[in-house]
Amino acid sequence: MNQSGKEFESQMTNRNEQYKIEFSGIILSVQPRSNVWRYRLDNRTHSMTGYNIFLSGIAEGDERDFAIAISEKQQQKLRFHIGDEIRGTAWTKMYPKLEYADYYRAGGLKKLSEVPAPDENAKSPWIGEVPELTVYARRGCRMLDSRSWKTKCFQCKWACMANVAIEYNWGITQKFRFESFCYGPKSCKLYKMGRPRAVPYKDCGSYYDEGWLDDICTEQRGYDE
Ligand code: SF4
């Protein structure tokens, strides 16, 4: 999987030759997939684009952990849960630095074995079935400490590793990186924002997202929602 936090400028986003791969494995986590657009501190826009399925298994003949991006329709049809064993095909990325998942354009998805229905009452982390993307969009999110995302929050349906584009020189240059977010209740005892995030702009240094954009993004939700 990609490294989070590191930035790449648009000139460095080389186009790769794509090819189709086969994979199989056990699901470790199902999370929403999103694209985020940042512009100074005036704008942080989140667009939900599907789900990322994190697996432990075999891809391209190698045994390892990897992530596959799938569509909302695919998730609604097959209802993937942590612990299910699945297989399918997918494609390598055209722009590797813009996409957190290792593969996308998944197809031929099949469940090889299924776990019992997940515990919808489990909290912190919430390991129940992922909701529709409109639910995430309506809830809005807060920045989540990247170490928490990797560890305690990894299985949570409210955790998300987003593909982020920063408008660095309006209309000319963008910077890209990956950022972790939480769509879960503000009362979750595992929540940690982590350090403020720099949002650079040409000739202006960096502005810092210190959390007040989180307050705006989630202002429609109460503490326990
Ligand atoms: S902090 Fe957020 S992502 Fe982590 S367990 Fe709590 S609700 Fe889930």
pLDDT (tens digit, 9 = 90+) per residue, 164-209?
Answer: 999 999 999 999 999 999 999 999 999 999 999 999 999 999 999 9
With beta carbons less than 8 A apart as the criterion, state whether 169 and 202 touch. yes
Half-sphere exposure of 144 (CA within 13 A, CB side): 30
**Distance from Cα 201 to the centre of ligand 1, integer Å:** 30
CA-185 nearest atom, ligand 1: 7
16 Cβ contact partners less than 8 Å away, ≥ 6 residues apart: 92, 93, 94, 95, 96
Report the residue among 144, 158, 224, 225 best suited for mutation to probe ligand 1: largest number of ligand atoms under 8 A from its CB: 158
**158 within ligand 1 shell (Cβ under 6 A):** yes
- Please, which pLDDT band fits residue 5 given cuts at 50, 70 and 90? low
Q: Within a domain: residue 52?
A: yes
**Distance from Cα 204 to the centre of ligand 1, integer Å:** 34
- Write out the two tokens for 139: 């809830």
- Please, which pLDDT band fits residue 9 given cuts at 50, 70 and 90? low
Task: Indicate the pTM of the whole model.
Answer: 0.94
Would you call 75 helix, strand, or coil by DSSP? helix
Q: Within a domain: residue 146?
A: no
Range(s) of the domain holding residue 86: 15-34+48-113
d(CA 212, CA 85): 40
Q: Within a domain: residue 96?
A: yes
User: What is the separation, in whole angstroms, between the first and last Cα of the chain?
Assistant: 31
Q: Within a domain: residue 95?
A: yes
Q: Within a domain: residue 97?
A: yes
Model confidence pLDDT, tens digit, residues 144-161: 999 999 999 999 999 999
Total of domains in the chain:
1
Q: Within a domain: residue 133?
A: no
Q: Within a domain: residue 72?
A: yes
Helix spans in the chain (H): 72-78, 133-139, 146-150, 212-217
Residue 124: closest CA among 196, 182, 55, 46:
182
Q: Within a domain: residue 89?
A: yes
- Please report, for the domain that includes residue 63, its CATH number: 2.40.50.140
DSSP assignments along 130-177, one per residue: ---HHHHHHH--EE--HHHHHTTTTT-TTEEEEEEEEEEETTTEEEEE
Model confidence pLDDT, tens digit, residues 63-82: 999 999 999 999 999 999 99
**Distance from Cα 148 to the centre of ligand 1, integer Å:** 8
